[in-house]
Amino acid sequence: MGRSSPTAPNFRWSAVVRESDYDMFVTLDRASHEPHPGVVFFDPETSECLWSSGVWSKVNDAMGTSFDFAEEEVVSGDKARYLSDVLIGALSQVPEPMRPSIRAAAELLRESASRNEKVIIAL
């Protein structure tokens, strides 16, 4: 019989969303493979991998944020650039099929930071 932790999160879809695209984001089909400008989804397996590899803990420690499971955080400027760098750094730690969405999220964060736009991280 397997053991499970009562505090272990049930991983779900998460996303990086340009704040100006948030209203559109809530209506999108997360499982669709169509690209959505301003929105990048992480499937449940990618979400779990980012948690287990320590990405969000590293970000919280360095930026003083409180990314936690089932939360949304707004980032911009230096925080968005830093998060982009952390995601790019995580590419070598994740399986190849997860890399395109992580790379796209990093690019969205970097682009938004350069335009002084806010980005919502929905975990």
Instruction: Give domain status of residue 68, yes or no.
Output: yes
Q: Is residue 4 part of a domain?
A: no
CATH code of the domain in which 75 resides: 3.40.1760.20
Question: Per the structure, how many domains does the chain have?
Answer: 1
pTM over 0.75: yes
**Of 38, 53, 51, nearest to 107 (Cα)?**
38
Is the pLDDT at 78 greater than 90, yes or no?
yes
Q: Is residue 2 part of a domain?
A: no
Q: Is residue 111 part of a domain?
A: yes
Whole domain around residue 72: which residue ranges? 14-28+37-122
14-53 pLDDT per residue, tens: 899 999 999 988 888 777 767 788 999 999 999 899 988 9
